[in-house]
Amino acid sequence: MNLKFLETFVWVARLKSFRLTADKLFTTQASISSRIAVLESELGVKLFLRDSRGVSLTPEGLKVLDYAEQMMDTMQALKQSIETRSSKVGRLRIGVMDTVIHTWLSPLVAQMTDLYPLVEIELVADTSLNLCDQLQKGFLDLILQTDLMRQESVRSLELASHPMGWIAASNSLYNREYSGIADLARERIITYSKNSHPHQEVLALMQANGVMTPRLNCVNSVSAITRLLRDGFGISALPPVLVAEELARGELTLLDIEQRPPNLQVVVSWRTGVEWVEEIVALCQHVVERYAQKVGKHYIVLSKTTVRI
């Protein structure tokens, strides 16, 4: 159905005149009559009655008018939304942890640049602890990290979580059977930066299994962890999604150990009062959902608070 013809129908109904509608839409009265005739043919009903007093809607026309106005209102809102987004000017400061950088940051930035072509995007890569500190101090507007923040001027939303696994180089001495966490802890363990959420989870898991002083080697870079693993440096507690290609090629192996650290959370936190930052939060939800559909639940699990956009 032609939206221009629907618009013509709405204006005829409002102005009660084919001539006035033609003037309003900068066309001829014959063109208006033709559009209405096409609509009536498509719908299979008579929309208007004409007499000496002018034009009036038929009962069927009244029903069509209600839906037509809703459709026109929706189209107008869509146009305004697109125009508003594309005309936004400014800068958005976003902090990102390594896990997001190596998963769905690129599609997020791509959509942001499409929707907000005039907005300058400033990206800061850092640990979750440092990102939270910079957000609190006002140096960043939005961050993607692991911890729910509870402050008056900051809001947080858990987007998803990544299942964790024990990973080692396939051709290393660490690729063997382990009886449990205590046996695993005898080896060199590589994990995220000290005092980070995943580091604390690994430490708690070790201590719960009687290992009070495990050999934890803290590294704040996913790329560095991956390189160390490939070189046979040790075993890492890492989301398999970050090394999916290396696992597929057989360079790395996901060890068969039932006890694993809890899923690594992905949380978006933002400062309240920052112009249109909540639009970016909604965009993050949309991108995460699309990414989850692509890689599957064994690599990422959507949070219950994440809704479809």
Q: What tens-digit pLDDT sequence spans the chain (309 residues)?
A: 677 888 888 888 888 888 888 888 888 889 888 988 888 888 888 988 888 777 888 988 888 888 888 887 777 766 666 555 555 667 889 999 999 999 999 999 999 888 888 888 899 999 999 999 999 999 999 999 999 888 888 999 999 999 999 999 999 999 999 999 999 999 999 999 888 889 999 999 999 999 988 889 999 899 999 999 999 999 999 999 999 999 999 999 999 999 999 999 999 999 888 877 888 999 999 999 999 999 999 999 999 764 433
In the chain, where does the domain assigned CATH 1.10.10.10 lie? 3-86
Name the CATH superfamily housing domain 90-162+264-302: Periplasmic binding protein-like II (3.40.190.10)
Helix (H, G, I), strand (E, B) or coil at 121: strand
Q: How many residues does the chain have?
A: 309
State the pLDDT at residue 273.
81
Chain center to CA of 167: 28
Q: CA separation (Å) from 74 to 54, 67, 220?
A: 29, 11, 47
Of residues 269, 268, 309, the one with CA closest to residue 286: 309
State the pLDDT at residue 122.
92
State the pLDDT at residue 309.
33
CATH of 3-86, one of 1.10.10.10, 3.30.43.10, 3.40.50.10790, 3.40.50.1370: 1.10.10.10
Of residues 63, 67, 12, 58, the one with CA closest to residue 35: 12
For 68-126, where are the E strands, in sequence order?
Answer: 90-96, 119-125
Reported pTM: 0.69
State the pLDDT at residue 165.
96
Place of tokens 């869509």: 78
In the chain, where does the domain assigned CATH 3.40.190.10 lie? 90-162+264-302, 165-254
Of residues 65, 60, 77, the one with CA closest to residue 12: 65
| CATH 3.30.420.10 for domain 165-254 | no
Residue type, position 53, single letter? R
Query: Are 191 and 236 in contact, with CB atoms under 8 Å apart?
Result: yes
